[in-house]
Structure 1
């Protein structure tokens, strides 16, 4: 994790910053000296997040699917140094044959097209030396049955990362490929099943544990701070991709 003052005087915008990995990243960036703006679709979640963040943070409820609203957000923010995008709806495993395509398209509206929209309007305002950090998942390279949509979305994010790094250079663009991480996205799973699921996922890693949101935040801050890294997808998964399908 970057130390206090590392991002002093910088502005960081976290889309999806009201919970989970985004909130952890906002907290870590603020602790490292940044002024942070968080955005998500829910004003109630924004208010709850700001209640636990320092006074150097602010927030806004924004429908990331509404380009005019996203453009207005970045117009109000003005100049910034780093954009971090973690927003996304939970994807329920479902066989392709049972997948309503209208619902599938809506999921990509936030995860993929929301990213494109945010980058389009943030990039011209990012100051020299700044960066964009996106978020994918290990499902991009190790899908399971019923996760074709999630795998396609995550893989698209990784391709977008490399394409944007080339197109927007010298602005740096990277992504964190997260493994299984304990976040509120798991909350709909009843507690006994969730505990068993976490234990099963932990057993598939080399570290014997699933990830915590703070560990993903540390990876986000590393990519923000290292000016010689761009076009990179950084895997943070406890070694799960090395274990095989055990």
Structure 2
């Protein structure tokens, strides 16, 4: 299998895109460790993953916890960062600055902490892939800060691709993806929302977590891709709706 003998760490691997990526990597032969800040979700994810996968509870806003994660894992070949928290729309003018800073803690600064502490253990032929979103190129009202965070993540990845070469660093830019993060929305409202999202794509669908996982897997396997942003959005950024 393509990743046999490789060790993969997926931060945010207990649900959604991260869990799908961990499963895909394990089925491709990798030794997989997932990390999550929630032990309950971590245990449920491990029960759902192939035998041999490991899990570590780690809060990405706690640098010491992130450092301890990589000390425990040791040598690795690929780091995938999909961690993120649900963010409600909020106009910048109404957002206290301290809260605005906090909203970048998991998605952006967590990525920085993970990369920083993974570097000493990463194989020089390995890879890092982080996750951004199409809100960075097609902002919507109330998500200016989210758009800024996406821009920061993508800029970070390009810079790291140069700084860490030959380690490869790439971004998966996700569109509307069906994940458990939407479960807090009532079911009937969620179905209406998904239908509206699908209409704004060229494929007439919304994405599945497995499609994001396939892209992360491609970036682990293809040794000639670095500094790249791959958009997986059904063509939504090309539509005018």
Which residue among 218, 233, 236 is the counterpart of 1:237? 233
**Matching residue of 1:44:** 40
**Counterpart position of 1:164:** 160
Give the alignment partner of residue 55 of structure 2, picking from 43, 59, 67.
59
Give the C-alpha shift of residue 56 in structure 1: 1.8
Give how far 1:67 is off. 1.0
In 2: Cα distance, 1:243 partner to 1:134 partner: 25
Structure 1 runs of 4+ with >4 Å offset: none
Alpha-carbon distance in 1 for matches of 2:94, 2:36: 29
Rounded to whole Å, the distance in 1 between the matches of 2:54 and 2:99 is: 32
| Structure 1 residue ranges without an equivalent (≥5) | none
Gaps of 5+ in 2: none
Asked if 1:203 corresponds to 2:199, the answer is yes
Q: Normalising to structure 1: TM-score of the pair?
A: 0.96
Matches of 1:45 and 1:235, distance apart in 2: 28
Structure 2 length-normalised TM? 0.98
Count of residue correspondences: 241
Aligned to 2:172: 176
Instruction: After TM superposition, give the deviation of residue 102 of structure 1 in Å.
Output: 2.0
Partners of 2:133 and 2:60 lie apart in 1 by 20
Deviation string 1:65-107 (CA, Å, 9 cap, x unpaired) is 1111111110110000000000011111111122232222112
Distance 2:230 2:166 in 1: 19
